[in-house]
């Protein structure tokens, strides 16, 4: 809430009171007040005999402005508390609890009778200054909860157990702290028990007792040397005179200090909690805690080793290959020198071989933030153990033999180290990249080495910028931890799908079949698309598709199933098959998609969309000439014989008519000149182009027809005799009229038409 002040205003209240959330999740953002009970019937659902031991107020904090107002002039109240109307006020301010530091106001909240246990209530804080200026906070949630006195425990203050910020609670078996940093101390230093152990309300409350208004005392005692205790299944007795305990501070006596390393000091912790109600008994919780004297860890120095190919001409850039493993021989001498000693990994000069895990960086969805490292050597490591490579007798004689065997592992990389024993010149280090059939690409990244399969090289992980980062080698002689990297590592995958030279025209024309030397069948279909293209790399997977949505309207109609068939269909053999009748002239061009499906059909990537022209299997009619007819005495119903007009032509023009033909692409004559009807269909034409695959006639493929232009009104035509009849009436002295006739061949795959003209005149020449 913001109050904007007019210049010169005398307003003396708070301008800002903003609640400070206690958790990111709104469901967890609750200010809790606790009622602690002696529960006489622990575990039962009958609270009648429970006795109130103490109450802990809820605490809330607020960002305020101005941040330096006087608490003495402020009054705090909680108003408009949701769900409660019967008792007013439902929540009250605990007098004297308010604190103001650096603009942060914190205070305690007391729930009254109207606040039910385990229920949430929304409320707002009112801060009234000088009795007249009131500012309100935003709403926040308060809950009253219930706890047993037995939930008060002794716990370590220094380290939280998990992400919920619960501390390590002291238990009898010691599992929660044995070997942990907060249960140990430097044998040459001290352990302040008073600061390290305190009382905590666990369970529903989850709050340190010192943060409440409950009084309690703590007493710490170093157990007498004659007292025996069992710790982690073993009897423990404090050593005579080894430990000192003064003012709640534990130490090891200066004499024989080193002998106390890994020794336990047994300390009894007694916490007594005072009740807030008269007549209610105190609560005591007592534990024996075992604090271990340890040698302090030495923080290692960190180093980085970048592996190098032995041959300076080589690098870590690989081309994708799904069938063969690749090997890079690394400079092992450079590596052993960089980790500051061959003896770090020499295994006392005993021959051995090992795999070293390689880890790739993984980034967030945006690709900019590193989130973790992920092994790319899991299957290789499994191969190492399954094939007993830890045994000297099973070590492959040649690294090429090992790489060949690893070709069963897909899409991984691993380091392979072989120790030469007494002959250091036989030490060798290789990077093996297995085949990449799983289509994972590695783009100019730095791989980090991790754990060794056989000999422990001291590999570990250290948190770096919030990410667990692998370190492959620990040199204990110089206390140095090495990050081992393979830099600029890439496996590139460049897909291509070029068409073969003989198919570059990208034309579909169909397939003819011969029987006994003569053509007997025609199928309108494409070749198999996967056989017409090359694929790069050769082991990549390509998919072709005739996408319905990308075709023209006519093709889309032909691709729909009608009467149980699809006239145009993509088949499982990667072919486009046509079922008659389809007008190929209307089909024109088909669009075929090419997909890179190497990563799987679900992840395929569109590579290209190519246009494929669909050609007619039947060519055009041969060339002919137009005809002329003149009759000065032209009268109604006069007939004109087309054949007579052809015969009257000069030799060259007549030859064009008598050699009239219609051929297909393989030179079969389908229609030729006929001295009676002008043209006639050959038998092979019907066989190849007017029947379906079953050999039955296709009704729409009507074959040869010679007819007048549909707009012709003056003449009729008799196709059987190729005769024109004039239906006009002579008028005037001159008559001239062009008659257009069509020679049409309608087949399974379209229509071929040849138009010629007969010019009819009535004039004196």
Residue 182 has pLDDT above 90, yes or no: no
Residue 399: per-residue pLDDT: 95
- Identical fold between 16-149 and 619-762: yes
Residue 85 has pLDDT above 90, yes or no: no
CATH pick for 619-762 out of 1.25.40, 1.10.10, 3.30.1580, 2.60.40: 2.60.40
Q: Which of 19-33, 255-269, 294-308, 344-358 has the highest mean pLDDT?
A: 344-358
Residue 165 has pLDDT above 80, yes or no: no
Residue 160: per-residue pLDDT: 52
Q: What share of the chain is helix, strand, coil (3-state, %, to 5)?
A: 15, 45, 40
Residue 260: per-residue pLDDT: 87
As a whole number of angstroms, the distance between CA 76 and CA 64 comes to 13
Residue 44 has pLDDT above 70, yes or no: no
- When pLDDT is averaged across residues 71-88 and rounded to a whole number, the result is 76
Q: Which of 153-157, 372-376, 733-737 has the highest mean pLDDT?
A: 372-376
- When pLDDT is averaged across residues 205-221 and rounded to a whole number, the result is 88
Residue 38: per-residue pLDDT: 86
Per-residue confidence at 11, pLDDT binned at 50, 70, 90? Answer: low
Q: By the 8 A CB rule, do 106 and 61 touch?
A: yes
- When pLDDT is averaged across residues 348-364 and rounded to a whole number, the result is 94
Class of domain 16-149: mainly beta
Per-residue confidence at 98, pLDDT binned at 50, 70, 90? Answer: very high
Residue 120: per-residue pLDDT: 87
Residue 163: per-residue pLDDT: 39
pLDDT, tens digit (0-9, with 9 covering 90-100), for 522-555: 999 999 999 999 998 888 899 999 999 999 999 9
Angle at 345 between CA 343 and CA 348, to 5 degrees: 55
Q: By the 8 A CB rule, do 327 and 400 touch?
A: yes
Residue 238: per-residue pLDDT: 58
User: Peptide bond before 88: cis, by omega within 30 degrees of 0?
Assistant: no
Residue 483: per-residue pLDDT: 96
Per-residue confidence at 41, pLDDT binned at 50, 70, 90? Answer: low
Listed range (34-48, 456-470, 485-499) with the worst mean pLDDT: 34-48
Average pLDDT, whole number, for the chain?
Answer: 90
- When pLDDT is averaged across residues 570-598 and rounded to a whole number, the result is 97
pLDDT exceeding 70 applies to what percent of the chain?
Answer: 93
Rg (the chain; Cα; Å): 49
- When pLDDT is averaged across residues 109-124 and rounded to a whole number, the result is 87
- When pLDDT is averaged across residues 378-397 and rounded to a whole number, the result is 91
Listed range (16-20, 40-44, 130-134, 366-370) with the worst mean pLDDT: 40-44
Per-residue confidence at 86, pLDDT binned at 50, 70, 90? Answer: very low
Tokens 């998609």, residue located: 593
pLDDT, tens digit (0-9, with 9 covering 90-100), for 298-312: 777 999 999 999 999
**657 or 296, which is more confident:** 657
pLDDT, tens digit (0-9, with 9 covering 90-100), for 235-250: 766 555 688 999 999 9
Backbone phi, then psi, for 616, in 5-degree steps? -75, 135
**277 or 553, which is more confident:** 553
Listed range (218-232, 455-469, 643-657) with the worst mean pLDDT: 218-232
Instruction: Dig out the tokens for 562 from the structure.
Output: 């009608």
Residue 164 has pLDDT above 50, yes or no: no
Per-residue confidence at 745, pLDDT binned at 50, 70, 90? Answer: very high
- When pLDDT is averaged across residues 99-128 and rounded to a whole number, the result is 90
Per-residue confidence at 89, pLDDT binned at 50, 70, 90? Answer: low
How far CA 602 is from CA of 399, 535, 596, 605, in Å, comes to 37, 19, 11, 9
Q: By the 8 A CB rule, do 749 and 689 touch?
A: yes
Residue 701: per-residue pLDDT: 96
Instruction: Dig out the tokens for 35 from the structure.
Output: 């009622």
Angle at 717 between CA 713 and CA 721, to 5 degrees: 170
Residue 466: per-residue pLDDT: 83
pLDDT exceeding 90 applies to what percent of the chain?
Answer: 64
Residue 159 has pLDDT above 70, yes or no: no
Tokens 């990208």, residue located: 506
Residue 42: per-residue pLDDT: 57
- Residue boundaries of the structural domains of the chain: 16-149, 151-294, 301-492, 503-615, 619-762
- When pLDDT is averaged across residues 389-395 and rounded to a whole number, the result is 87
As a whole number of angstroms, the distance between CA 619 and CA 622 comes to 9
Residue 418: per-residue pLDDT: 94
**3-class SS letters over 577-601:** EECCCCCHHHHCEEEEEEEECCCCH
The structure's pTM equals 0.52
């Amino acid at each position: 809430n913001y109050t904007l002040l007019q210049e010169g205003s005398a307003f003396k209240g708070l301008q800002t009171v903003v609640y400070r959330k206690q958790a990111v999740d709104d469901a967890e953002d609750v200010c809790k007040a606790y009622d602690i009970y002696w529960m006489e019937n622990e575990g039962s659902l009958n609270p009648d005999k429970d006795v109130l031991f103490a109450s802990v107020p809820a605490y809330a904090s607020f960002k305020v402005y101005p941040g330096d107002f006087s608490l003495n002039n402020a009054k705090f109240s909680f108003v408009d508390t949701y769900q409660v109307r019967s008792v007013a006020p439902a929540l009250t301010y605990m007098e004297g609890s308010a604190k103001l530091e650096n603009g942060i106001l914190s205070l305690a909240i007391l729930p009254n009778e109207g606040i039910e246990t385990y229920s949430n209530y929304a409320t707002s804080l009112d801060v009234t200054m000088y009795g007249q200026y009131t500012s309100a906070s935003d709403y926040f949630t308060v809950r009253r909860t219930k706890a047993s006195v037995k939930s008060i425990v002794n716990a370590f203050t220094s380290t939280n157990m998990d992400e919920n910020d619960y501390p390590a609670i002291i238990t009898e078996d010691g599992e929660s702290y044995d070997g942990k940093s907060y249960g140990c101390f430097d044998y040459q230093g001290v352990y302040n028990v008073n600061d390290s152990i305190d009382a905590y309300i666990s369970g529903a409350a989850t709050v340190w007792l010192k943060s409440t208004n409950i009084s309690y005392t703590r007493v710490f005692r170093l157990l007498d040397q004659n007292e025996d205790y069992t710790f982690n299944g073993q009897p423990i007795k404090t050593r005579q005179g080894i430990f000192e305990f003064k003012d709640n501070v534990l130490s090891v006596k200066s004499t024989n200090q080193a002998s106390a390393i890994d020794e336990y000091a047994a300390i009894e912790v007694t916490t007594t909690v005072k009740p807030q109600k008269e007549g209610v008994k105190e609560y005591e919780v007592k534990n024996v805690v075992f604090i271990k004297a340890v040698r302090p860890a030495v923080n290692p120095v960190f180093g980085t080793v970048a592996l190098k190919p032995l041959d300076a001409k080589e690098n870590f850039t690989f081309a994708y290959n799904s069938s063969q493993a690749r090997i890079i021989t690394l400079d092992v001498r450079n590596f052993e020198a960089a980790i500051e000693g061959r003896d770090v990994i020499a295994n006392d000069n005993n021959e051995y071989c090992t795999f070293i895990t390689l880890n790739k960086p993984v980034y967030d969805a945006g690709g900019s933030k590193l989130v973790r490292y992920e092994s790319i050597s899991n299957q290789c490591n499994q191969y190492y153990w399954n094939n007993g490579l830890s045994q000297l007798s099973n070590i492959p004689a040649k690294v090429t033999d090992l790489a060949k065997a690893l070709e069963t592992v897909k899409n991984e990389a691993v380091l392979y180290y072989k120790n030469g024993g007494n002959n250091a010149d036989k030490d060798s280090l290789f990077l093996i990249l297995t085949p990449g059939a799983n289509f994972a690409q590695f783009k100019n990244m730095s791989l980090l080495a991790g754990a060794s399969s056989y000999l422990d090289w001291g590999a570990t992980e250290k948190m770096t910028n919030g990410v667990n980062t692998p370190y492959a080698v620990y040199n204990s002689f110089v206390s140095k931890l090495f990050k081992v990297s393979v830099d600029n590592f890439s496996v590139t995958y460049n897909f291509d799908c070029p068409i073969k030279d003989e198919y570059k025209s990208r034309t579909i024309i169909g397939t003819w079949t011969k029987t006994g030397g003569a053509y007997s069948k025609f199928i309108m279909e494409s070749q198999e698309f996967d056989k017409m293209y090359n694929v790069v790399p050769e082991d990549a997977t390509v998919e072709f598709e005739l996408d319905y949505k990308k075709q023209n309207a006519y093709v889309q109609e032909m691709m729909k199933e009608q009467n149980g068939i699809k006239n145009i269909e993509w088949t499982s053999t990667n072919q486009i098959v046509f079922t008659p009748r389809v007008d190929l002239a209307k089909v024109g061009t088909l669009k075929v998609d090419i997909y890179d499906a190497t990563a799987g059909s679900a992840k395929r990537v569109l590579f290209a969309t190519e246009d494929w022209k669909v050609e007619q299997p039947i060519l055009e009619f041969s060339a002919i000439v137009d005809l002329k007819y003149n009759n000065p005495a032209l009268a109604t119903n006069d007939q004109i014989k087309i054949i007579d007009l052809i015969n009257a032509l000069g030799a060259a023009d007549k030859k064009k008519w008598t050699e009239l033909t219609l051929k297909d692409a393989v030179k079969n004559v389908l229609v030729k000149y006929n001295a009676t009807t002008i043209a006639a269909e050959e038998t092979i034409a019907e066989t190849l182009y007017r029947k379906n695959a079953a050999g039955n006639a296709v009704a729409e493929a009507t074959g040869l027809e010679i007819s007048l232009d549909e707009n012709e009104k003056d003449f009729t035509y008799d196709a059987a005799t190729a005769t024109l009849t004039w239906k006009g009436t002579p008028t005037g002295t001159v008559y001239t009229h062009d008659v257009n006739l069509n020679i049409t061949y309608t087949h399974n795959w379209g229509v071929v038409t040849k138009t010629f003209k007969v010019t009819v005149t009535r004039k004196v020449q």
